[in-house]
C-alpha cells in the first residue's frame, strides 16, 4: 500500500472518518488495528514479529524504570537492547555477512566451504520501528520517560501507520504523550495536513519519479559509458530523486498524522542549502541524524575527548549510519565518506567565538563565500551518492572513473534540461521555505489561495507524474 497509490487513500479516508467519531480509547484501539492492517497489507507474516517485539519491550519497560525495585533492571535493559538489535541484525544483515564471509574465504583461496543458503526477507520498516523501540527503552531506563501503562498506547506509538514504514523516527517523549491524551479536531491543522499531503505527492510523483528516469538511465548505461556528463546527470538526478522521494514521503506521513490530530517532527529543512556537511545533517533526515546523535554519538563520547577522538566518534557514527541504510559495502563507504568529511570540517573549521572588533567581510563577499560553500557541500553529497545508488563497490568506482572522460553527446543537453525542469521548482520552494521558516509554502496565506494551490497540484500531478513503478527509496531500509 504505497502512499502515492489509490489504495492508500481508499484506506486513509474511511479511517479518518471513523476515527473522529470515537472517544480517545476507541480511537487508540481503532488506530492500532488499522495500523496492523496497514502493515499486514505488505506481508501478514511480519505482523507477529512486530507485535512480538512490541510486547517484549512493553513488559521489559515496566522492570527497568529508575523507581523500579527489580534488582535486575540493568540486565533487563541489556537484554532488550540485545534482542532488538539481534532481530534487526538477523533480518537485515544475515545475508550480507554470509556473502561477505564467503567472498573473504574465496580471496584466501578457500572454496567449497558449506555456508547457510537461507535467504531472509527484510520486513518493511524494521529499521524505523526498531529505532523507536530502542529509544523508548533507553529513555525509560534513564528516567526521561515513564513506562507506558497501556499496551494499546505503547503499541500505537510503535505502529501508528503514517510513520511505520519509513519514518520519520518518532521520539517517545514527543509522540507517546500525544497517544496518551485526548485529541480534538482542529480545522486549521486538518487543512494543513491536506496541504502537506499535496506537497508530498508533488515531491514524490513529479520531482522524484521524473528524476528517477534520468538517474536510472545514467546508472543503467542508457547514456553510454560513464563520463563526466553522465556522472553529473546520474548523481544530480539521483540527489533530487532521493530528496523528493523521502521528503515527499515525510510530508505525506506528517499530513496523514495531522488529519488525526498528531504532530510529527519536521524531517527535512532545505538540506541542499547547507553550507557544510555538518549543517547538511542538521537538515537531512533529521529524525535519524538526531537519533544517531543522542543514542550513538554522545554515548561514544561525542566531542568531549578532543578533536581526534571526536573525529573517530563521527567516523564510527557515520559508518553505522551508512550500514543502517542497507546491507552492502557501498553503504559503508557512503557513511565513511561523510564521517571523514565531517572530521576534516571539524579540524579546518573549529567552533570559536569571533571577537566583536574583528574585521568582517563585506556583505557581497560573505554571500559569495556562502554560495561557494553550498555548492561544494552539495557536490560532495552528490558524489557520495554514487556509492549509495550503485549495486556494488566495483560498479560505483567504474561509474566515478568516468569523471576523467569529457566526451560530449547531444542527448546530454536534453537530460540536463529535463533535470532542470523538475529540480529547479523544488529548489525555489526550498528558498521560499528557508526565508519564511514555514512547514510548507504559503502556509499562512488564505484558505482560498491555498485551495487554488491544491487545485494546481492536481493538474500538475495529472500531467507530469513520472513512472509509477518507482517505489519509495527508503521503503527498503
pLDDT tier for residue 216 given thresholds of 50, 70 and 90: very high
| 212-216 own/partner pairs: CB under 8 Å, 24+ apart | 212/237, 212/238, 212/241, 212/245, 212/466, 212/467, 212/470, 213/466, 213/467, 214/415, 214/418, 214/419, 215/241, 215/389
**Sign of the CA dihedral running 137, 139, 288, 331:** negative
Whole-number Cα distances in Å, 364 to 188, 369, 371, 372: 41, 9, 11, 12
Choosing from 111, 275, 285, 325, the catalytic residue is: 325
Arithmetic mean of pLDDT, 296-319: 90
DSSP 31: H
pLDDT at 35: 95
pLDDT at 351: 65
- What proportion of the chain, given as a percentage, has pLDDT over 70? 89
| Annotation says 325 is catalytic | yes
Which is more confident, 436 or 102? 436
Which is more confident, 438 or 207? 207
Does residue 232 have a pLDDT over 70? Answer: yes
pLDDT at 140: 95
Stretch among 53-62, 77-86, 257-266, 325-334 having the lowest mean pLDDT:
325-334
pLDDT at 302: 87
Does residue 255 have a pLDDT over 90? Answer: yes
Task: Encode pLDDT of 169-190 as tens digits.
Answer: 999 999 999 999 999 999 999 9
Looking at every residue in the chain, the average pLDDT score rounds to 88
pLDDT at 360: 65
pLDDT at 472: 60
pLDDT tier for residue 247 given thresholds of 50, 70 and 90: very high
Does residue 97 have a pLDDT over 60? Answer: no
Does residue 356 have a pLDDT over 60? Answer: no
pLDDT at 2: 83
Does residue 390 have a pLDDT over 80? Answer: yes
DSSP for 279-319, please give it: HHHTTSSHHHHHHHIIIIIHHHTTTTTHHHHHHHHHHHHHH
- Cβ distance 206 to 251 under 8 Å? no
Task: Encode pLDDT of 280-301 as tens digits.
Answer: 999 999 999 999 999 999 999 9
pLDDT at 353: 56
pLDDT tier for residue 437 given thresholds of 50, 70 and 90: confident
For the chain, domain boundaries: 21-184, 189-350+363-476
Amino acid at each position: 500500500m504505497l502512499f502515492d497509490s489509490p489504495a492508500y487513500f481508499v484506506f486513509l479516508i474511511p479511517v479518518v472518518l471513523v476515527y473522529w467519531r470515537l472517544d480517545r480509547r476507541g480511537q487508540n484501539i481503532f488506530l492500532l488495528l488499522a495500523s496492523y492492517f496497514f502493515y499486514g497489507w505488505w506481508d501478514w507474516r511480519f505482523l507477529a514479529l512486530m507485535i512480538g517485539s512490541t510486547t517484549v519491550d512493553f513488559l521489559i519497560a515496566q522492570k527497568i524504570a529508575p523507581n523500579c525495585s527489580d534488582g535486575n533492571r540493568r540486565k533487563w535493559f541489556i537484554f532488550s537492547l540485545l534482542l532488538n538489535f539481534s532481530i534487526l541484525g538477523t533480518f537485515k544483515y544475515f545475508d550480507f555477512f554470509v556473502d561477505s564471509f564467503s567472498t573473504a574465504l574465496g580471496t584466501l583461496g578457500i572454496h567449497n566451504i558449506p555456508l547457510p543458503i537461507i535467504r531472509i526477507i527484510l520486513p518493511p520498516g524494521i529499521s524505523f520501528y526498531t529505532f523507536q523501540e530502542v529509544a523508548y527503552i533507553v529513555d525509560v531506563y534513564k528516567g526521561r520517560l515513564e513506562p507506558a501503562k497501556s499496551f494499546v498506547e505503547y503499541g500505537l506509538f510503535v505502529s501508528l501507520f503514517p510513520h511505520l514504514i519509513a519514518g520519520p523516527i518518532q521520539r517517545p517523549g514527543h509522540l507517546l504523550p500525544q497517544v496518551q491524551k485526548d485529541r480534538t479536531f482542529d480545522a486549521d491543522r486538518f487543512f494543513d495536513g491536506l496541504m502537506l499531503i499535496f506537497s508530498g505527492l508533488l515531491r514524490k510523483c513529479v520531482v522524484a519519479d521524473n528524476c528517477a528516469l534520468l538517474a536510472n538511465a545514467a546508472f543503467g548505461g542508457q547514456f553510454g559509458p560513464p563520463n563526466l556528463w553522465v556522472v553529473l546527470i546520474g548523481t544530480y538526478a539521483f540527489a533530487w530523486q532521493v530528496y523528493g522521494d523521502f521528503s515527499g514521503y515525510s510530508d505525506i506521513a506528517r499530513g496523514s498524522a495531522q488529519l488525526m490530530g498528531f504532530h510529527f517532527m519536521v524531517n527535512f529543512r532545505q538540506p541542499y542549502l547547507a553550507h557544510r556537511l555538518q549543517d547538511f545533517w542538521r537538515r537531512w533526515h533529521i529524525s535519524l541524524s538526531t537519533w544517531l546523535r543522542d543514542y550513538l554519538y554522545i554515548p561514544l563520547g561525542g566531542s568531549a575527548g578532543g578533536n581526534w577522538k571526536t573525529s573517530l566518534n563521527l567516523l564510527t557514527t557515520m559508518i553505522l549510519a551508512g550500514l543502517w541504510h542497507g546491507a552492502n559495502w557501498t553503504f559503508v563507504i557512503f557513511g565513511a565518506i561523510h564521517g571523514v568529511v565531517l572530521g576534516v570540517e571539524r579540524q579546518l573549521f573549529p567552533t570559536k567565538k569571533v571577537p566583536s572588533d574583528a574585521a568582517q567581510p563585506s556583505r557581497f563577499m560573505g554571500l559569495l563565500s556562502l554560495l561557494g560553500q553550498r555548492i561544494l557541500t552539495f557536490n560532495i553529497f552528490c558524489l557520495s551518492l554514487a556509492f549509495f545508488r550503485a549495486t556494488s563497490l566495483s560498479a560505483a568506482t567504474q561509474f566515478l572513473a568516468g569523471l576523467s572522460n569529457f566526451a560530449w553527446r547531444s542527448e546530454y543537453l536534453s537530460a540536463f534540461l529535463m533535470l532542470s525542469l523538475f529540480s529547479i521548482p523544488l529548489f525555489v520552494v526550498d528558498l521560499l521555505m528557508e526565508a519564511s521558516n514555514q512547514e510548507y509554502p504559503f502556509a499562512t496565506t488564505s484558505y482560498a489561495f491555498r485551495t487554488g494551490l491544491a487545485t494546481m497540484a492536481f493538474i500538475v500531478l495529472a500531467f507530469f507524474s513520472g513512472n509509477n513503478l518507482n517505489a519509495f527509496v527508503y521503503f527498503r531500509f
